[in-house]
Amino acid sequence: MVGYDPNSPGTALTPEEAALAGSAAGMVTRALISPLDVVKIRFQLQIEQVSWRSPQGKYWGLWQATHCIMTEEGLPAFWKGHIPAQLLSVCYGAVQFASFEALTELVHKKTAYNSQTPGVHFICGGLAACSATVACQPLDTLRTRFAAQGEPKTYRNLRHAVVTMFRTEGPLTFYRGLTPTLVAVFPYAGLQFFFYNIIKKLLEPQDTKSKGGLHSLISGSCAGVISKTMTYPFDLIKKRLQVGGFEEARMKFGQVRTYHGFVDCVVRIGREERLRGFFKGLSPSLLKAALSTGFTFFWYEFFINAIVSLKSS
């Protein structure tokens, strides 16, 4: 079970062990779901309506966008920004799960609450994700820039991107979109851990002899879809703000906008693109959320069990 469990046999996980398992889970998951992430980001940054019924912009459907990117940019385009994305996943997974294990243990030892209740997992999961977000936001901005650029490339490699952004836009550019990210990440991650806790407990009594890995995968996937649907608009706003100052490289994809902060972004999207504008890219995002959250919890528990087995032997 994810989180501190006082009834678990053996010693509790150390922060280093949780960080190792979390970073390994993030690394494997990122490699598997990168193509969906690239398509999702392209949808989110498109001003024109994303609809196959009345195509207006460059991308208007999941399969059409996939074919378009493949044709124009080749297979490697689906892993654009993969290096900063992998750094992001490894860093984020390490900080999030180490913080979550430490927070749930703290709750159990310092309060009267049970560390394995859904409510505790919601609060601890949200706080752990916020700490990971602050630590990893520059990598998320770099990942978004790489995934958003077309051909010819604006940034040749990671070092060139860091130097160029720092010189032309200043150090604060690496934290563009931090406000909507923090606003969204607390309930998003909190709901992930909340629903994972509930669904996993519902599944396990049905067949105690089955392997926990399948339960982790199903529980994580369901939790990812529910939490992503409830918090998706904040993710879209974050992506729009992160590509501010990057308008020239976006010209070939259609219309571009420059937003002056969180409120301006919300108002203009609502006025120009209506309610549906806040949910552009939802389809690939839900598919990605199901796979990424499912795989993350699956691999995290897999690596945790491996670490426990090695310690006991």
From 267, 262, 276, 210, select the one nearest 234 (Cα to Cα): 262
- SS3 assignment, position 152: coil
pLDDT(223) > 60: yes
Q: What is the pLDDT of residue 248?
A: 62
With beta carbons less than 8 A apart as the criterion, state whether 59 and 65 touch. yes
Give the model confidence (pLDDT) of 234-262 as tens digits.
888 888 887 776 666 565 666 777 888 88
Q: What is the pLDDT of residue 285?
A: 83
For the record, the structure tokens of 107 come out as: 């709750």
Q: pTM here?
A: 0.74
Distance between start and end Cα atoms, the chain: 21
- SS3 assignment, position 164: helix
Q: What is the pLDDT of residue 188?
A: 92
Mean pLDDT of the region 222-238: 90
Q: What is the pLDDT of residue 60?
A: 79
Most confident listed range (106-115, 120-129, 260-269): 120-129
| Average pLDDT of the chain to the nearest whole number | 85
Run of H or E residues at 148: helix 118-148
pLDDT(288) > 70: yes
Q: What is the pLDDT of residue 249?
A: 59
Give just the sign of the alpha carbon dihedral 253, 256, 259, 263. Answer: negative
pLDDT(293) > 80: yes
Alpha carbons 219 and 227: distance in angstroms, whole number: 12
Work out the pLDDT band at 209, boundaries 50, 70, 90. very low
- Residue found by looking up tokens 């070092």 in the block: 159
From 133, 135, 148, select the one nearest 179 (Cα to Cα): 133
pLDDT(206) > 60: no
Q: What is the pLDDT of residue 31?
A: 87
